[in-house]
Amino acid sequence: MAVQKSFAMAAMLCVCLQPATATPPVLERGDESWIKEALEVVLAEASVSHCSLTFMMDKTSSYFYEAVRFRMPATKTGGDVVLDVADDGSTDVNLTMTQVVAQARKMRLMSWCTLVVVFSDNPTFLSVFAEMADKGRLMVWETRLLVITRLPLSNLQDLLQNYWTFSMMNTMFLKLNTSSGENHCQIYGHMPYGPTGSHVAQLASLNSGYILVYLSDRPLFPEKYNNFHGMKVNLTWIPLTPYWMVTKRPGPNGTEITTFSGRDYWIMENIALIHNFSLNPLPYTGWDPVLKSLRTREAFLWPVPLPILPHMLELYDISFFLERSTLAFSMAKPSTKPSWETVYRPFQIDVWGLVVASVVTVYIVLLMMNTSNKDKGPGAWLVMKQVLGTLLDEAIPGELPQRSNTRVVLTAWLIFSFVVGTVYRSNLTASLTIPKYPPRIETFSGLVDANAKQVHHAFFNVAPSLPV
């Protein structure tokens, strides 16, 4: 099922689930109309125009087909997908729910935001969904979950309090009564932090005129973490300077006092001050216990610099960023060459090679021309002094050659020596006046070409700072 983000979509996926409890009482045909009206009111209030809808349904619910019929037109939302969990007992419940959650997660990843609506009167179905949604990373805080059920209030409270997906995520329960009338629908949510601690709160009810009546100042899908009401929040950490530093000093009665500092600790302190909670850093015993404390939710926070790399996105979901930074590397400033190397620095190696080749060629030519002359010309040593001397801006030693062709060669060599000498002296003066530093590495490909292999391992064994 390939669906692109930002345009409407609709699909049906049928999988199987073993029956776990007896089928709940079947509603009368006339009751389906008010259930339809109630669900339309709540969904219209809870959903956002550009968010997609994902319906997960249990056929043991008598209002299943009505729920499919009333779903909002895809043009009013970001699209919708219906996941029909059938009841023929042919597949294991955990395997089946894993497949359904995986499809729902694909829908969530392709949408700007998602509202997941689950229909079921089966507590086993809902408990398995909660476990698989947590394990399959279906929920992030921006994803809203609405559970519609006719379970008794005691069952509903057990589900809200005992499963992370229902208790800590952005979840509401819509409880339908078996008959219409005043307050025939109630909406509940679990508030993990409050003046009296963790509790299940009734957020609203639906009266006989299909009007939502709010029972508190909380809206639908209330924010659970704006105020922790002075609770202690467990926090794990790693001693990574300068982000998190530990100082130990002697205390009274032979005790040891541990204090924390560093950039990440100060950020956490300010967040705790704003949201009214206190930090409880857990003892650091190594990398593995840090990750385990997050998986088991012994710790709620881990402030850490996190590079968002592709292989990490396969393991973790990122809710939001405190700050963004680019991937960077640092290297020592390139140093200049030793002073004795300034003699040949004005020319590159290939230029020096051409100069040496020219000296050898001119020397051989002049020597051969003098040898072919009937009159004895200058010797080999004198020819060498003529070639090197003129190159070094010295006077021509000995007598000038008598033959015209020898004079032409020597004149050409004088011009060549003048040009080379002038360029050399100019470049030498410039290099001595303004030092030229070697080029430094500016790109990642340049870093690879430089065979830089040492990387700090700490930045590749990290997890999100907010596991919820």
Residue 265: the pLDDT is 92
Report which of residues 383 and 326 the model is more confident about: 383
- The pair of three-digit structure tokens given for residue 347, joined into one six-digit string: 């020319």
Q: What is the mean pLDDT of the segment spanning 414-429?
A: 84
- The pair of three-digit structure tokens given for residue 52, joined into one six-digit string: 């997609």
For the chain, the structural domain boundaries read: 12-21+30-214, 231-329, 339-433
Residue 68: the pLDDT is 59
Per-residue pLDDT tens digits for 60-81 = 765 665 655 555 554 455 566 7
Per-residue pLDDT tens digits for 405-421 = 877 888 888 888 888 88
Domain 231-329 has CATH 3.10.580.10: no
Report which of residues 20 and 207 the model is more confident about: 207
Domains 12-21+30-214 and 231-329 fall in the same CATH topology: no
Per-residue pLDDT tens digits for 23-57 = 444 444 445 666 777 777 887 777 666 788 888 87
In this prediction, residue 12 has a pLDDT band, given cuts at 50, 70 and 90, of very low
Per-residue pLDDT tens digits for 146-170 = 998 888 999 999 999 999 999 999 9
In this prediction, residue 330 has a pLDDT band, given cuts at 50, 70 and 90, of confident
Lowest mean pLDDT among 8-12, 18-22, 338-342, 450-454: 8-12
Report which of residues 127 and 461 the model is more confident about: 127
CA pair distance 427, 127, nearest whole angstrom: 80
Give yes or no for residue 125 having a pLDDT over 80: yes
Query: What's the CATH fold of domain 12-21+30-214?
Result: Rossmann fold (3.40.50)
Lowest mean pLDDT among 126-130, 197-201, 406-410: 406-410
Residue 69: the pLDDT is 58
Give yes or no for residue 457 having a pLDDT over 50: no
- Taking the mean position of all CA atoms in its chain, how far away is CA 223? 24
